[in-house]
Structure 1
Amino acid sequence: MTSAECINPEHTLTYQSRLPRLPVPTLQDTASRYLESLKPLVTKEQWEKSAALVKDFVKPHGQGEYLQSLLEAYARTQPTSWLETWWLSGAYLTWREPLVINSNYFILGKDDPNQPPFDNQKNPRQGIPEGTFTPFQIRRAAHLIHECLNYMEIIESGTMPVEKTRNGAQCMDQYFRMFGTTRIPQPGQDALRQPSPVTLRHIMVLAKDQVFAVPVFAKGDHRVRLAVGDIEDQLWQVVKQVTSPSADLDAPVGVLTGDHRDAWAELYAHLQNFHPTNAQSLELIQTALFSVSLDDYSEGEDHLKSYRNAAGGRQGHNRWFDKTIQIIVEASGRVAFNGEHAPCDALIPAYMYDYILDCPVRWPGPPYPKSMHDYEPPRRLRFHVDEEIRRGIKDAQALVGRILDQSELAITHFTKYGTTFIKRVGKLPPDAYVQIAIQLAYYRLHGKLVATYETGSTRKYLHGRTETIRTATQEILWFVQAMSNPSTDDATRYRLLHGAAVKHNENSKLASEGQAVDRHLFGLKMAASQLAGLSPDQLHPMFTKDPSFSLSSTWTLSTSSIHQGTNFIATGFGCAVSDGGYGINYMKQPLQIKAAIEGKRTGSSNVQGMDHAIKQALADMGELCEKQVKQSSVKPKL
């Protein structure tokens, strides 16, 4: 019996058949919550115009009631969730912009405790030369591959503990969607392919833009894992092939995965049909359990440079952005991750990445043991290309380069306090507190509140994924205005902070219950087009003619939080709005708050200013809470 079984004898999927289905909110509830969410974003006159349109939409026998009835009927026919298929398509697979920054998430892991100095061991005065692979890099990559397979084994065996919250068991379906999954480019709408992971026996490894299928299971009918030493040997075989003086390197086809999706779809079809070897190589990529990129360079000690490398590499080279799991190991041994978002939310692979980083690499010291099993050697996946494909690679490289050049990143580590202080001194819930700090920072920097997306989980429901928490509220507006008004006393400011946190908690709970605004509005629009057959110009003007509707769902601030991220330096994603927008991912720890910010170098975005403003907002709110504790022994509780 494994340790996981001792801790939790339940099978990972024990509660799946008992989980409730995602509800369809009532029309009136959504209408009321939608109008409430507009108040901090629009003028009184704009709000009144919106309210009139909403009233017309939800009136008896109006279009709202008709679409609601269609949606409710459709929900009753779905085997899992009324939202699942529509959301996968609408939120991900019909996305046509490049995945780099725009859609894929990226994570920078902490350095291993046994990490060698960031220089060439033979010549400490110089950094690691370009074009170099190092022993520690290969050792750590093999170790991480092994740990990743351990995690996969826990999932496949059903011994992954069922996640539970105060609301009960969480849906565990997404854990089974990580391994072996690849996004396939197709015109207009991509597809996902996931062969059964238990039938798969290899991973893919990229080095110098060359792709290899590397077995992680032995030959034979039985699925027998290879040892870490076997994997390490194979990685060295990969390195030998790409660094040989006689190496015949293929064109960097992986760069195409960073192209515009329709351009990649067209070239994908051409690549697949151009030569039978190409089709075989693509098949082995799509049946790989996950991807590992061995970079023949180091970004040095600078975490921000390595974080940028996690986001897109060097103009998209040595990456396969369509793979759900992609582990990146620099020549120094520094590790990062890049993941395609469609099959599962970033939180799920993030748990795995945290797990595989937790165990240090054996270094220095004796090599890892090898097995006595026979296995196939690494297989080079060759690509034959013509001038059209070469031109496409050149264009894709230029496009990815522009995306990366326009992207500005910042890593924020606020170390004055963390969740312990927020709960004990502030008497406030940490997530609400950090979200309010982000709102205060934006208000100070840009002079207004904007539509803000925060990820809320609906995993209490079968195949539940996410719902939007509309963070910008009237209560937060009152608080940030009070913080900017020198005549407002601290007691009033704290009272407003408390009220803003209460409101955020209420909205978060509604989102987790599937009772927020945005998924329902999305469902009504899908019902109009998919079930009622309405054309866009037949949709109610609430959706099409009201600027407030577009304003309130254009996520100038796109935010999300994962777990504590003990083993992460930074986690992030791109902003949704290029002018004045930010993508902010944060991690709440007992003694610090970590965040990473992405914005564009064009327009009014100011990533460095936002970095400073968030730190200042957290400092000022902490000081406010401390003053309140000193001035009053009676503290409000949520």
Structure 2
Amino acid sequence: MVGTIADGRISAELESRSSTPKLQRLQIPELNLTIERWLKSVEPFLLENAGQGRGDVEKELQKRRDSLRDTGPLRVLQERLIELDRSSPYNWLDDNIWAKHAYLEWRQPILINSNWWLALFHDNAVPEHVLQGNSSNARAGITPWQVRRASWLVHRLVDFKRRLDRQDIYAESTRAGIWYQHAFSKVFNMCRIPHQGCDALAGPPTGPSSARRQIVVMVHDWFYSAEVVADNGDPVPVQEIETRLRAIVRDAADRLRNGEIAVPVGILTTDDRDVWARNLQHLLSFSSHNEQIYTVVKESLFALSLDAYTYSTTNHTSDKSCSTGEIERDAHLHNIRSGINARNRFFDKGLTIIVENNTRCGATGEHAPVDALVPSIACEYAIVEGIDSKAFSSADPEADFLQDAENVEGCRRLDWIVDKTIETACVRAEDNAKALIADSDNSVLWFTDYGAELVKDTLKLSPDAYIQMALQLAWYRTRHCFTAVYETALTRLFKHGRTETIRSFTTESRAFVLGMVDASKKDAERYRLLSLAVRSHVKLTREAATGKGIDRHLLGLEYVRRPTDPDHPLFRDRLYKLSTEWKLSTSGLSAGHLFRGTGFGTLYPDGYGINYLAAPDIIKFGIESKYSCPQTSTAGFKSALVDALMDMKKMSLCALQSTSARL
């Protein structure tokens, strides 16, 4: 899911071992250690069974130890995995398995199911009347301030890329720089390519390419290109970017005035991947012109969507008690997630910047190349400095917006040639996209009572682990059962490291949750249970971040299995599957000072996809579930999460005060 750094931003273990920065190669964990850690991870499920009169925990664990004692078949797989690593340029996981297994083999639409989304804060330079939707002098719904903000964001992102390429930032003189340089190489000029059975990734072109210095601009479902990078790699002056975007908007307005309607080819990227692969093959087969357009789309730096509206969800929120501000934030997030029926987008692109006509903006991207932490850093850079009016010829973009500039170079139409087959496919894809969007129960929670500072400094607990316990408590109170919990940890200590799973549902977290719902428990005992659960979670976080997790190792063992191999009891165990049904799929991002909200889709129709931003005095949650599931409710979970966080704070403070009084 969304890529994150869990609470332990762990770097000291490997950072100081060498004066010459070098990232270690991701190791394959020892087989016996993975088996023992797996047995520990399924213990809370056995405890649940025992609590319901279905078996004895120690007997069940011993039975599994006995069945796993003969590791001969597993050792064959281990040797194959070691051999795979020997033949891999960087590491066994990233080179061969992860992107393919986790993303590219998925045949489901990537809209909501795979793409991440990120809503950014407003620019202080934009007048309030524009933010309120009262801009004048619009062309076909596109406003002057919208174009100005888009120009500024594009210019800032190109500047970020330039500084990155020149190693002015994230230089490879540090281990963090080595990791980020590689990670960012998979953000820009990146696109997912549909193929039957398994997609591929088209990275930056290796030879000469004018497209790599361009962005793709979408307006009213029409595609355009705009050159935004000079020959020397510097950003094109922001005034010139604005001029080119204005020319594109003017052209789209003229076409609408002439009665033209674009065939929304971008909507095809929301379809089943095999269906999209067939349609793309057809689209490219009857016109070399389409092949040229697709090359520009693939190789372009990133995409920009200029939306001729300000999205509203007044009648679509799942929580009727939401304030006007909450409804507006959700509307902003929904547009970044999927727009109006997924129009004016190309979801295969690695990074797309979206700007509405009141200047609300955000980003979405394809998840397979890189986790969302990385592009979120680029987005932070883009908005940390607001629009500088001195960089433009006029401080007020509305003053001359309707004036036509002649002979604007550096931008052009990218008009697809389509036939009835493609037109029909677009209608079908939009119908399917509408159903996906209508089923997505997505909302933002800004929890403002306290944040990471109180948890860390007053309660003396890890903020990330604490939030994980709150999520599990909220789940239990709404579902009256437990579930496997996925939390993402980055393995950025390793060359081409990607992610590992933190199995957040533990014996200790289960005991804490049960203690919180047991009226007979005292606050001191509940706090003790919380502390133990947090300590266990921090240990798992450290293990995951330092290459000692179990899920990627188990995935690797399964990857090298052959149809003729004897079946092993580990893979037949019912808990093997149950312990990976991540109905709580979670990740923490950054402090999120510049983000209004984030999100990704749930992995299971009866689960939740939850991203969170823990700042010193606020915690922001992006929560997604499905309306079609009667067991889930984003509004209900938000309410339960607020209650959990408030109860945990009250309980912890009471316990600490009681301890202090005794001393």
TM-score by length of 1: 0.90
Matches within 5 A, 1:277-316: 277-299=289-311, 302-316=328-342
Q: Do the aligned partners of 2:247 and 2:408 also contact (CA within 8 Å) in 1?
A: no
Residues 485 and 120 of structure 1, relative CA distance in 2, 3 Å threshold: closer
Aligned residues: 608
8 A Cα contact 1:455 1:469, kept in partner = yes
Partner residue of 1:4? none
Aligned to 1:23: 27
The alpha-carbon deviation at position 249 of structure 1 amounts to 3.7
The 5-angstrom pairing of residues 101-500 of structure 1 reads 101-117=112-128, 131-161=140-170, 170=179, 172-196=181-205, 200-218=212-230, 222-244=232-254, 245-246=257-258, 248-299=260-311, 302-362=328-388, 367=393, 376-500=409-533
Between the aligned partners of 1:346 and 1:16, the Cα distance in structure 2 is: 29
Q: What are the Cα deviations for residues 53-73 of structure 1, in whole angstroms up to 9, with x where unaligned? A: 56434514x211211122122
5+ long unaligned stretches in structure 1:
1-13
Partner of 2:653: 626
Alpha-carbon distance, 1:547 to partner: 2.3
Moved more, 167-176 or 263-272: 167-176
**Cα distance in 2 for residues equivalent to 1:423 and 1:430:** 6
Specify which of 550, 575, 579 is matched with residue 548 of structure 1: 575
Matching of residue 73 in structure 1 with residue 83 in structure 2: yes
Summarize the Cα distance change of 1:456–1:137 in structure 2 as closer, same or farther, 3 Å threshold: same
Q: TM-score, normalised by structure 2?
A: 0.86
Deviations 1:219-265 (A, max 9, x none): xx644531111000111111111111126443110000111100000
Contact 1:107/1:571 (<8 A) preserved: yes
Q: In 2 relative to 1, CA 259–164 (structure 1 residues): closer, same or farther, beyond 3 Å? A: farther
The Cα of 1:216 is off from its aligned counterpart by 1.1
Q: How many Å separate the matches in 1 of 2:232 and 2:548?
A: 47
* Deviation of 1:41 (Å): 2.5
Residue 576 (1) aligns with residue 603 (2): yes
Superposed, 1:535-614 pairs within 5 Å as: 538-543=566-571, 545-579=572-606, 581-603=607-629, 604-614=631-641
Contact 1:409/1:607 (<8 A) preserved: yes
Task: Indicate conservation of the 8 Å contact 2:139/2:249, yes or no.
Answer: no
CA distance in 2, matches of 1:167, 1:115: 35
Distance 2:470 2:180 in 1: 31
Distance 1:327 1:171, change over 3 A: closer
1:281–1:328 Cα change, 3 Å: same
RMSD: 2.8
- Alpha-carbon distance in structure 2 between the residues aligned to 1:500 and 1:128: 58
State the Cα deviation string for residues 119-157 of structure 1 (Å, max 9, x = none).
699x95x99999511111000000000000011011111
Q: Deviations over 1:54-101 (max 9, x none)?
A: 6434514x2112111221222223221110121111111111111111
The answer (yes or no) to whether the contact 1:27–1:58 under 8 Å persists in 2 is no
- Deviates further, 206-215 or 40-49: 40-49
Q: Which whole-Å CA distance do the structure 2 matches of 1:16 and 1:445 have between them?
A: 52
> Residue 310 of structure 2 contacts residue 358 of structure 2 at CA under 8 Å; is this kept in 1?
yes
1:169–1:628: structure 2 CA closer, same or farther, 3 Å change rule?
Answer: farther
Letter in 2 for 1:572: G
The aligned counterpart of 1:82 is: 92
227-236 or 154-163, which moves further after superposition? 154-163
Q: Distance in 2 between matches of 1:606 and 1:201?
A: 44
Residue 194 of structure 1 and its aligned partner are, at CA, apart by 1.4
Q: Distance in 1 between matches of 2:188 and 2:296?
A: 14
Deviation at residue 279 of structure 1 after TM alignment: 1.1
Query: Cα offset for 1:628?
Result: 2.4
Conservation of the 8 A alpha-carbon contact between 1:422 and 1:433: yes
Whole-angstrom distance in 2 between the partners of 1:52 and 1:326:
51
User: For the structure 1 residues 375 and 113, does the alpha-carbon distance in structure 2 shift closer, same or farther, using more than 3 Å as the test?
Assistant: same
Q: Distance in 2 between matches of 1:120 and 1:597?
A: 25
Q: 1:550-588, CA deviations, whole angstroms, 9 ceiling, x for partnerless residues?
A: 111111000001111110011110000102x00000001
CA distance in 1, matches of 2:177, 2:199: 34
| 8 A Cα contact 1:131 1:297, kept in partner | no
What secondary structure is seen at the aligned counterpart in 2 of 1:177?
Answer: coil
Deviation at 1:315, TM superposition (A): 1.2
Change in CA separation of 1:540 and 1:305 when aligned onto 2, cut-off 3 Å:
same
Provide closer, same or farther for how the CA distance between residues 526 and 287 of structure 1 changes in structure 2, counting only shifts above 3 A.
same
CA distance in 2, matches of 1:204, 1:167: 31
Select which of 534, 554, 564 maps to 2:563: 534
Cα deviation for residue 440 of structure 1 reads 0.8
Amino acid at match of 2:554: L
The 1:519/1:409 distance shift into structure 2, 3 A limit, reads same
Identity %: 35
Contact kept in structure 1, 2:445 and 2:621, CA below 8 Å = yes
Match of 2:73 in 1: 63
The residue identity in structure 2 corresponding to 1:609 is G
Q: How does 1:516-531 map to 2 (within 5 A)?
A: 516-528=549-561
3-state secondary structure, aligned to 2:560: helix
CA distance in 2: counterparts of 1:310 and 1:146, whole angstroms = 20
Unaligned ranges ≥5, structure 2: 1-17, 313-324, 398-406
